[in-house]
Amino acid sequence: MVGKLTIQDIARLAGVSKATVSRVLNAKPDVDPATRERILQIMQEQGFVPNVAASSLAGGRSRLIGVVIPPLTWPLITEILRGVSEVVEQSSYELLLYSVAHDLGDYEKNKGTVIDRILASHLASGLLAVYPGSSIPHLTKLYDQGFPVVIIDDRETPTHVPWVSADNQTGAAAATRYLLQLGHRRIAFIQGPLEYEVSLKRYQGFCEALKEAGLTPDPELVQQGNFMAKSGLPGAKQFFTMEKRPTAIFAGNDQMAYDVLEDAEAHGVRIPGDISLIGFDDIPSSAYTRPALTSVRQPFYEMGRRATELLLSQLDAPRPVPTSYYPAILPLAMQNTSANYLQLPTELIVRASCTSPR
Amino acid sequence: MVGKLTIQDIARLAGVSKATVSRVLNAKPDVDPATRERILQIMQEQGFVPNVAASSLAGGRSRLIGVVIPPLTWPLITEILRGVSEVVEQSSYELLLYSVAHDLGDYEKNKGTVIDRILASHLASGLLAVYPGSSIPHLTKLYDQGFPVVIIDDRETPTHVPWVSADNQTGAAAATRYLLQLGHRRIAFIQGPLEYEVSLKRYQGFCEALKEAGLTPDPELVQQGNFMAKSGLPGAKQFFTMEKRPTAIFAGNDQMAYDVLEDAEAHGVRIPGDISLIGFDDIPSSAYTRPALTSVRQPFYEMGRRATELLLSQLDAPRPVPTSYYPAILPLAMQNTSANYLQLPTELIVRASCTSPR
DNA sequence: CTGTTAGCGCATTCAG
DNA sequence: CTGAATGCGCTAACAG
Does A26 contact strand D, using a CB cutoff of 7 Å? yes
The residue of chain B nearest to residue A259, with distances taken between CA atoms, is: B288
Helix (H) or strand (E) holding A68: strand A64-69
- Same domain for B283 and B308? no
pLDDT over 70, % of chain B: 88
Return the CATH number at B285. 3.40.50.2300
Residue nearest to nucleotide D6 (CA to C1'): B58
- Is A356 a member of any domain? no
CB burial readout B60-83, b (16+ within 10 A) else e: eebbbbbbbbbbbbbbbbbbbbbb
Q: What is the mean pLDDT of chain A?
A: 85
- Same domain for B40 and B107? no
- Does the pLDDT at position A265 exceed 80? yes
Q: Tell me: cis bond preceding A284? Omega within 30 of 0 counts.
A: no
Residue A289 is predicted with a pLDDT of 81
- Does the pLDDT at position A346 exceed 70? yes
- Same domain for B123 and B175? no
CB within 7 A of strand C: which residues qualify? A 15-20, 23, 29-33, 35-36, 54, 57-58; B 4, 6-8, 18-19, 22-23, 25-26, 50-51, 54-55, 57-61
Q: Residues of A with CB below 8 A from B123's CB? A: 52-53, 64, 94
Return the CATH number at A17. 1.10.260.40
- Same domain for A196 and A262? yes
At B294-316, the pLDDT tens digits run 999 999 999 999 999 999 988 87
- Does the pLDDT at position B5 exceed 80? yes
Distance from CA of A213 to the nearest CA of B (A): 33
CA dihedral of A240, A243, A248, A250, whole degrees rounded to 10: -60
Q: How confident is the model at residue B325 (pLDDT cuts 50, 70, 90)?
A: very low
- Same domain for A265 and A317? no
- In angstroms, the CA A264 to CA A269 distance is 5
- Is A14 a member of any domain? yes
Nearest nt (C1') to A51 (CA)? Answer: D9
Residue A327 is predicted with a pLDDT of 42
The residue length of chain B stands at: 358
pLDDT over 70, % of chain A: 88
Q: Which has the minimum average pLDDT: A320-334, B147-161, B240-254, B320-334?
A: B320-334
Q: How confident is the model at residue A41 (pLDDT cuts 50, 70, 90)?
A: confident
- Does the pLDDT at position B327 exceed 80? no
CB contact under 8 A, B288 and A261: yes
Q: Which of A20, A55, A52, A60 is nearest to A36 (CA)?
A: A20
Which residue from A4, A52, A85 is facing B123, i.e. has the nearest CB?
A52
Residue A331 is predicted with a pLDDT of 38
- In angstroms, the CA B228 to CA B38 distance is 57
- Does the pLDDT at position A6 exceed 60? yes
- Is A354 a member of any domain? no
Residue A229 and residue A182 in contact, taking contact as beta carbons nearer than 8 Å: no
- Does the pLDDT at position A317 exceed 70? no
Which bases of chain D are contacted by protein, using any atom under 7 A from a CB?
1-5, 7-13
Q: Of B89 and A300, which is predicted with more confidence?
A: A300
CA B291, distance to chain mean position in Å, is 28
CA dihedral of B69, A330, A327, A127, whole degrees rounded to 10: -60
CA distances from B84 to A95, B140, B239 (A): 15, 21, 39
Q: Residues of A with CB below 8 A from B284's CB? A: 75, 229, 285
Residue A98 is predicted with a pLDDT of 86
Question: Which residue segment(s) compose the domain that A243 sits in?
Answer: 168-298
pLDDT over 90, % of chain B: 45
Residue A325 is predicted with a pLDDT of 46
Q: Which of B123, B108, B233 is nearest to A96 (CA)?
A: B123
- Does the pLDDT at position A321 exceed 70? no
Residue B85, helix vs strand vs coil: helix
- Does the pLDDT at position A201 exceed 70? yes
- Same domain for A104 and A130? yes
- Is A352 a member of any domain? no
At B203-258, the pLDDT tens digits run 999 999 999 999 999 999 999 999 988 999 999 999 999 999 999 999 999 999 99
pTM of the model: 0.82
Mean pLDDT calculated for residue range B114-125 = 81
- Is A351 a member of any domain? no
- Is B348 a member of any domain? no
Listed in order, strand segments (DSSP E) in B276-318 are 276-281, 294-297
Residue A99 is predicted with a pLDDT of 75
CB contact under 8 A, A122 and B53: yes
Residue A52 is predicted with a pLDDT of 85
Q: Which of A141, A155, A80 is nearest to B1 (CA)?
A: A141
Residue A249 and residue A186 in contact, taking contact as beta carbons nearer than 8 Å: no
Q: Which has the minimum average pLDDT: A161-175, B43-57, B107-121, B252-266?
A: B107-121
Mean pLDDT calculated for residue range B266-287 = 92
Q: How confident is the model at residue A293 (pLDDT cuts 50, 70, 90)?
A: very high
- Same domain for A321 and A273? no
- Same domain for B218 and B177? yes
- Same domain for B38 and B133? no
Q: How confident is the model at residue A349 (pLDDT cuts 50, 70, 90)?
A: very high
Q: Which of B217, B214, B179, B180 is nearest to B200 (CA)?
A: B217
Does B52 contact strand D, using a CB cutoff of 7 Å? no
Does A19 contact strand D, using a CB cutoff of 7 Å? yes
Half-sphere CA count of A267, side-chain side, radius 13 A: 21
- Does the pLDDT at position B318 exceed 70? no
- Does the pLDDT at position B331 exceed 60? no
Q: Of B341 and B213, which is predicted with more confidence?
A: B213
- Does the pLDDT at position A108 exceed 60? no
- Is A219 a member of any domain? yes
- Same domain for B294 and B310? no
- Does the pLDDT at position A306 exceed 70? yes
- Same domain for A11 and A73? no
Q: How confident is the model at residue A324 (pLDDT cuts 50, 70, 90)?
A: very low
CB contact under 8 A, A57 and B75: no
Which residue among B245, B272, B298 closes a domain? B298
- Does the pLDDT at position B326 exceed 50? no
- Does the pLDDT at position A32 exceed 70? yes
- Does the pLDDT at position A47 exceed 80? yes
Q: What is the mean pLDDT of chain B?
A: 85
CB contact under 8 A, A72 and B50: no
Residue B319 is predicted with a pLDDT of 40
Q: Of A318 and A345, which is predicted with more confidence?
A: A345
Residue B72 is predicted with a pLDDT of 58
Residue B145 is predicted with a pLDDT of 82
Mean pLDDT calculated for residue range B81-95 = 88
- Is B250 a member of any domain? yes
CB contact under 8 A, A288 and B258: yes
- Same domain for B205 and B289? yes
Q: Of A51 and A2, which is predicted with more confidence?
A: A51
Domain count, chain A: 3
Q: Residues of A with CB below 8 A from B291's CB? A: 290
CB contact under 8 A, B285 and A290: no
Q: Of A271 and A27, which is predicted with more confidence?
A: A271
- In angstroms, the CA B350 to CA A301 distance is 33
Residue A318 is predicted with a pLDDT of 44
Mean pLDDT calculated for residue range A178-188 = 98
Residue B329 is predicted with a pLDDT of 31
Q: How far is the CA of A23 from the C1' of D15 (A)?
A: 17
Q: How confident is the model at residue A26 (pLDDT cuts 50, 70, 90)?
A: confident
Strand partners, B189: B222, B250
Mean pLDDT calculated for residue range A255-283 = 93
Handedness of CA B142, B144, B145, B148 (dihedral sign): positive
Residue A186's φ and ψ, nearest 5 degrees, are -95, 90
Nearest nt (C1') to A34 (CA)? Answer: C1
